[in-house]
Structure 1
Amino acid sequence: MIVIPPAESDATGHVADMYAGDLESDGFVFAHTKAMAINPGAHEAFEALIRAIVPSIGIRTYELATLGAARGIRSKHCLLAHGRKTLRANAMDEEQLQRVAVDYRDADLSAADVAVMAYAEKLSTDATSMTDADSRELRDLGFSDRQIVDITLAAAARNYFSRTLQALAVPLDDVPGLSPALADALLSPTR
């Protein structure tokens, strides 16, 4: 990563909060946090967007959309980080998450969960081919218009964040709290 983030000793305001959050939960500041600390206003706006999305769809659907999008763009950072967030939120257990990481279509997910992941993955790989049929599938599975928009925003937001990290060549940190088998499964779409 060629960009130079603010030093931990110089961090103030939102940057200090970003660093403190990582230090408190993991004992070090992640490289992706440091990269985003260069523009704390953009990071705050991103966090505000996520806070506006999650209430209508819930944390599980948000994480499924995030994992589907991260899978589509092959984002190692986000696959690992959101694998851990999925576990921490008790959105699924490690065994099921490992199966989802390898092949979400064969992981005993509901039809709605599979559709969310497929929608987010398609948005991330070929958004120009999407039609009303893609949204209609979500509606037919019980999602409201607001939820469809928020699933779309969740996947699009993941594209923004992940592609930023990829473009800046942000180093990949080891993510504490993941077993080697789960980390390997989460990274399987990037191979």
Structure 2
Amino acid sequence: MDTAGFLATPEPTAEAQRLFDDDVAELGYVMNNSRLWAYQPETLSGLFELLRNANAGDRLSLRQRGILVTACASAFGDSYCALAWGGKLAGLSEPETAAGVLTGSDAGLSSEERAMAGWARKVARDPNGTTEADVQVLRDAGFSDPQIFTMTVFVALRLAFSTVNDALGARPDQALHASTPAAVRDAVTFGRPVAS
């Protein structure tokens, strides 16, 4: 049986084919998580639209989003997003910086970026355990309350995406793993193994 994670491959639809075509145009292959989201491509589009809306006002930079997702993915134990966004962050900085975010050392980040990474990890690990003092760390790093809200919504929506992928067995693509810098690959010692 052909599968998408733990599920059978869904029946092809025009919406799913657009999702696959976008992957091929951007990456040269269809991602395993796209095969899974082919069950509800409109839901995936809606989730990414929510992410764009959340970032519309405060405009987190691609590097800031990379730090948030990489820190969140590693704290959550999501190997797929850790490889994907760790690789992106490596391209925006250097592989050692991305590997540092994945391992929690945050070497190579500014004090502002370290505060963001720390917050993303706290939200991913235990959102009920955050405190006003944790929010104050972000304020002290220069973030406004609207920016803190944006970061939190962004991380929470990324967690929703990761939860679906991880719960239903989406494994990182071999091509993604191969194209990710070695320092990032070596730092991802958690989550589901790379697809064979």
CA distance in 1, matches of 2:94, 2:13: 36
CA distance in 1, matches of 2:70, 2:23: 21
Alignment of 1:84-123 (within 5 A): 84-87=87-90, 90-105=91-106, 107-123=107-123
Deviation (angstroms), 1:76: 0.4
In the alignment, is the contact (CA less than 8 A) between 1:115 and 1:137 conserved in 2? yes
CA distance in 2, matches of 1:40, 1:108: 37
Show the counterpart of 2:172.
Answer: 172
Q: Which has the higher contact order (CA 8 A, sep 6+)?
A: 1
Alignment of 1:1-150 (within 5 A): 1-6=5-10, 10-13=12-15, 15-55=16-56, 56=58, 57-87=60-90, 90-105=91-106, 107-150=107-150
In the alignment, is the contact (CA less than 8 A) between 1:54 and 1:62 conserved in 2? no
> Alignment RMSD, CA only?
2.1
In the alignment, is the contact (CA less than 8 A) between 1:68 and 1:155 conserved in 2? no
In the alignment, is the contact (CA less than 8 A) between 1:102 and 1:188 conserved in 2? no
Identity percentage of aligned residues: 26
| Cα distance, 1:12–1:190 mapped onto 2, change above 3 Å | closer
Point out where structure 2 has 5 or more consecutive residues left out of the alignment: none
Q: How many residues align?
A: 184
In the alignment, is the contact (CA less than 8 A) between 1:102 and 1:189 conserved in 2? no
CA distance in 1, matches of 2:62, 2:146: 15
| Cα distance, 1:94–1:2 mapped onto 2, change above 3 Å | closer
In the alignment, is the contact (CA less than 8 A) between 2:70 and 2:85 conserved in 1? yes
| Cα distance, 1:149–1:16 mapped onto 2, change above 3 Å | same
Supply the AA of the counterpart residue of 1:172: P
By percentage of residues, which structure has more helix?
1
Point out where structure 1 has 5 or more consecutive residues left out of the alignment: none
CA distance in 2, matches of 1:58, 1:42: 25
CA distance in 2, matches of 1:103, 1:130: 18
Show the counterpart of 1:151.
Answer: 151
In the alignment, is the contact (CA less than 8 A) between 1:101 and 1:188 conserved in 2? no
